[in-house]
Amino acid sequence: MAIDTEHFRIELLKERERVQAALKNLRDEHPGSIEDEAEEISGTLETDHLGENASITLGREIDYTLTENSEQVLSEIDQALKRIEDGTYGTCGACGKEIPAERLEVYPWASLCIDDARRAEAS
């Protein structure tokens, strides 16, 4: 076996805990509806005006992005853990090639090789 899945399983579980803690913090800080805030933000940005409350708006936007990203990462971590169970972990979901361990060290939840990840981003 080329990839030490047990090592990555531990990394994924650690990352999962970290992301869940971050998500909990974000939600505790903003108990209100995230969707409402997002609309507010895009409206503010469309005016292309950096008013005096710009820093507040920017802070909210970052929080919103963090929440969205964290949820995305969390679901990717769960999928990666499932792939470890299935024995398909470390294999590119698009071309079937092995994902280099260096890439998995940075993104243990990666499901695509670098080439296919770039392709997916570009499309």
Binding residues for Zn ion (CB under 5 A) = 92, 94-95, 113, 116
Residue closer to Zn ion, measured from CB, 18 or 97: 97
CB of 110 to Zn ion, least distance (A): 10
Are the beta carbons of 11 and 108 closer than 8 angstroms? yes
CB of 106 to Zn ion, least distance (A): 16
Residue closer to Zn ion, measured from CB, 70 or 111: 111
CB of 52 to Zn ion, least distance (A): 48
DSSP, collapsed to helix, strand or coil, labels residue 98 as strand
- From the list 84, 123, 122, the residue with the least C-alpha distance to 111 is 84
* DSSP letter, residue 99: P
Residue closer to Zn ion, measured from CB, 63 or 116: 116
- From the list 98, 82, 41, the residue with the least C-alpha distance to 64 is 41
CB of 90 to Zn ion, least distance (A): 12
Tokens of residue 120, six digits: 């997916």
Are the beta carbons of 76 and 84 closer than 8 angstroms? no
Residue closer to Zn ion, measured from CB, 12 or 113: 113
